Amino acid sequence: MTSVTASARAGPRIRQESAAVSHTDADAPRLLVEPERLAGWMDARGLAPGRPLTVERVTTGHSNEVFRVERGTLRLALRRPPRTPLSPTAHDMAREHRLLSALIEHAGAVPVPTPVALCADPSVLGAPFYLMELLDGVVVRDRVPEALAVDPATPVALAHALVDLLVGLHAFDWRAAGLDDFGRPEGYLDRQVPRWLGQLARYKTRELPEVDEAGRWLAAHTPPMQAPTVIHGDYKLDNVMFEATLPVRPRAVLDWEQATIGDPLVDLGWLLGLWLDPGEGSLFGANLPVAGAPGLPTRVDLAQRYAAATGRDLSHLPFYCVLGLFKLACVMEGSYARFLAGTSDDAFFQVLGEGVPALARRALELVP
State pLDDT tens for residues 63-77: 788 999 999 999 999
Q: How many Cβ atoms are within 10 Å of 318's Cβ, its own excluded? A: 18
Pairwise CA distance, residues 266 & 273, whole Å:
10
Q: Which of 190, 203, 216 is nearest to 326 (CA)?
A: 216
Q: In terms of domains, do 228 and 259 share one?
A: yes
Q: Compute the C-alpha angle 20/22/27, nearest 5°.
A: 125
Within-domain flag for 144 = no
Give the chain's domain count. Answer: 2
pLDDT (tens digit per residue) in 208-231: 999 999 999 999 999 999 999 999
- Report whether pLDDT(18) > 60: no
Asked if residue 4 is part of any domain, the answer here is: no
Mean pLDDT of 141-169: 96
Residue 84: pLDDT band (50, 70, 90) is: low
In the Cβ-directed half-sphere of 184, how many Cα atoms lie within 13 Å?
A: 6
Residue 345: pLDDT band with limits 50, 70, 90: low
Domain final residue pick, 136, 164, 184: 136
Segment among 58-62, 160-164, 167-171, 227-231 with least mean pLDDT: 58-62
Report the pLDDT value the prediction gives residue 5, as an integer from 0 to 100.
Answer: 41
User: How many angstroms separate the CA atoms of 17 and 14, rounded?
Assistant: 10
Please tell me whether residues 260 and 339 are part of one structural domain.
Answer: yes
Say which range, 20-24, 174-178, 339-343, has the weakest mean pLDDT: 20-24
Q: Are residues 87 and 203 in the same domain?
A: no
CATH number, domain with residue 226: 3.90.1200.10
φ, ψ dihedrals at 144, nearest 5°: -80, 125
pLDDT number for residue 48: 98
Q: What is the CATH number of the domain that holds 38?
A: 3.30.200.20
pLDDT at 307: 98
What's the predicted TM-score (pTM) here?
Answer: 0.89
Same structural domain, 89 and 188: no
201/90: higher pLDDT: 201
Question: Is residue 275 over pLDDT 90?
Answer: yes
What is the reported pLDDT for 17? 33
* Whether residues 130 and 196 fall in one domain: no
- Indicate whether 25 pLDDT > 60: no
Residue 356 forms part of a structural domain = yes
pLDDT, averaged across the chain = 88
44 and 167 within one domain: no
| Crossing angle (nearest 10°) for helices 209-220 and 352-365 | 30
Write down which residue in 136, 168, 183 finishes a domain. Answer: 136
Secondary structure of the chain in HEC code, one letter for each residue: CCCCCCCCCCCCEEEECCCCCCCCCCCHHHCCCCHHHHHHHHHHCCCCCCCCEEEEEECCCCCCEEEEEEECCEEEEEEECCCCCCCCCCCCHHHHHHHHHHHHHHCCCCCCCCEEEEECCHHHHCCCEEEEECCCCEECCCCCCHHHHCCCCHHHHHHHHHHHHHHHHHCCCCCCCCCCCCCCCCCHHHHHHHHHHHHHHHHCCCCCHHHHHHHHHHHHCCCCCCCCEEECCCCCHHHEEECCCCCCCEEEECCCCCCEEECCHHHHHHHHHCCCCCCCCCCCCCCCCCCCCCCCCCHHHHHHHHHHHHCCCCCCHHHHHHHHHHHHHHHHHHHHHHHHCCCCCCHHHHHHHHHHHHHHHHHHHCCC
Question: Dihedrals φ, ψ of 266, to 5°?
Answer: -60, -40
Q: Are residue 115 and residue 216 in the same domain, yes or no?
A: no
Q: Which residues fall within 8 angstroms of residue 316, CB to CB, at 6 or more apart?
A: 223, 265
Domain region containing 22: 13-136
